Amino acid sequence: MIGFFLLAFVATLLSTVVGFGSGILLVAGGTLFFEVKWSIALATHLFLFNTWWKTVGLWPHVEKRIALTILITALPATWLGARFLLESSGIWIERILGLIILVDLLVDTMSRRRTRGSHDREDKQASGKLSGSKVALTGAAYGWLSGAVGSGSVVKAMVFRRAGWPHQTFVATMAATALLLNILKVAVFWKARLVGPSDVPWIAGLLAVSWLGVGVGRRWLASIQPGHAAVLVRFMLGAVALRLLLA
**What are the tens digits of pLDDT across the range 22-73?**
766 676 677 667 776 787 788 889 989 999 999 998 899 999 999 999 999 9
CA–CA–CA angle 151, 154, 157 (5° rounding): 140
Per-residue pLDDT, 119: 45
pLDDT > 90: what percent of the chain?
Answer: 21
Higher pLDDT, 94 or 215: 215
Per-residue pLDDT, 210: 92
**What value does the mean pLDDT take over residues 190-213?**
90
- CA separation for the pair 120, 125 (Å, rounded): 9
Higher pLDDT, 82 or 16: 16
pLDDT classification of 74: cutoffs 50, 70, 90: very high
Helices 36-57 and 200-223, packing angle to 10 deg: 40
Per-residue pLDDT, 22: 72
- CA separation for the pair 168, 10 (Å, rounded): 19
Helices 22-30 and 226-246, packing angle to 10 deg: 40
For all residues of the chain together, what is the average pLDDT? 79
Per-residue pLDDT, 123: 44
Runs of H (alpha helix) within 88-225: 91-115, 118-125, 132-149, 153-160, 167-191, 200-223
CB 81 within 8 A of CB 144: yes
**What value does the mean pLDDT take over residues 203-212?**
93
- Burial of 128-163, coded b for 16+ CB within 10 Å and e otherwise, reads eebeeeebeebbbbbbbbbbbbbbbbbbbbbbbbbb
Per-residue pLDDT, 118: 46
Per-residue pLDDT, 126: 44
Cα–Cα nearest to 97, from 153, 31, 48: 153
CA distances (Å), origin 233, targets 18, 80, 109, 223: 6, 28, 13, 16
Question: Which residues, in sequence order, are CB contacts of 97 under 8 Å at separation 6+?
Answer: 145, 149, 154, 155, 241, 244
Per-residue pLDDT, 137: 93
CA distances (Å), origin 180, targets 4, 52, 72, 176: 25, 9, 11, 8
120-132: per-residue pLDDT in tens? 444 444 444 677 8
Higher pLDDT, 155 or 94: 155
Per-residue pLDDT, 112: 60
Residue 107 phi/psi, 5° resolution?
-60, -45
Using the predicted structure, report yes or no on whether residue 133 has a pLDDT greater than 90.
no
Higher pLDDT, 31 or 215: 215
CB 20 within 8 A of CB 157: yes
157-197: per-residue pLDDT in tens? 888 877 888 888 888 999 999 888 888 888 888 887 888 89
